[in-house]
Amino acid sequence: MSDIKEVLYSEEEIRAKVKELGERITEDYKGKKLFLLGILKGCVPFMADIMRSIDLELEYDFMDVSSYQGTRSMGEVRILKDISTSIVDKDILIVEDIIDTGVTLSYLTKILKSRGARSIEIVTMLSKPSRRKVELPVKYNGYEIDDHFVIGYGMDYNERFRGLPYIGILDESVYSNSEE
C-alpha cells in the first residue's frame, strides 16, 4: 500500500507482544476480577486480543472520548459514550491503542477515581513519550515509538486504515495537504 511509509510492527510481532502483556496482567491480577475499559474506537482489535490473552474472570465496557481531529490533538477532552455500569470497588484496566500527549487518559483517570474505582492501571499497545504533556504512569506498555503518525491495528487517519493487521507509519503525503 503506497500510503504506508513503513511497517513498524508485523501481525506476528503484535500477537507475541499481546501474549506477553496478557501473561503479565494475568500474573499481576491473579485471584481478582478485572474490569477492562476500552477506549473507542482504536482499542477494538487490541481489546479483543488482550481479553483472550488474560486468563482471569473479566468484565468490560467501553468509553468513546475525543481529543483529536485529523492528525491534531486538540487538547479538549469530550466524552462521547460513557460506561454503562458502576465501577465502585473495581480494579480497572484501561485499554488504549496509543498514548500520545496523555491528556485524555489523565482526564479519564481522574473521572474513574471520582467514581470509586479501587485501582486504575493502563495497558497500551503504543506510547509516544516525546509527545507527553501530562505525566502518566503506564504499567503495561507494548512498544515505545518516536513521534510518527501511525495507523493499523485499530488506529486510523480519518477512519481509514483501522483494519490493517499490522502497525505502520502513514506517509506524510496522505495528510500534509489535507489538514483543515
Catalytic positions are 100
Distance of CA 26 to the CA centre of its chain: 18
pLDDT number for residue 180 = 46
Return the H-helix or E-strand segment holding 5. Answer: strand 4-9
Which regions of the chain are under pLDDT 50? Answer: 180
pLDDT number for residue 146 = 96
pLDDT number for residue 106 = 93
Instruction: Choose among 156, 161, 120, 121: nearest CA to 138.
Output: 121
Within 8 A by CB and 6+ apart from 21, the residues are 50, 53, 123, 140, 142
pTM attached to this predicted model: 0.91
pLDDT number for residue 176 = 81
For each of the domains in the chain, give its residue range(s) and CATH number, in order of start. 11-145 (3.40.50.2020)
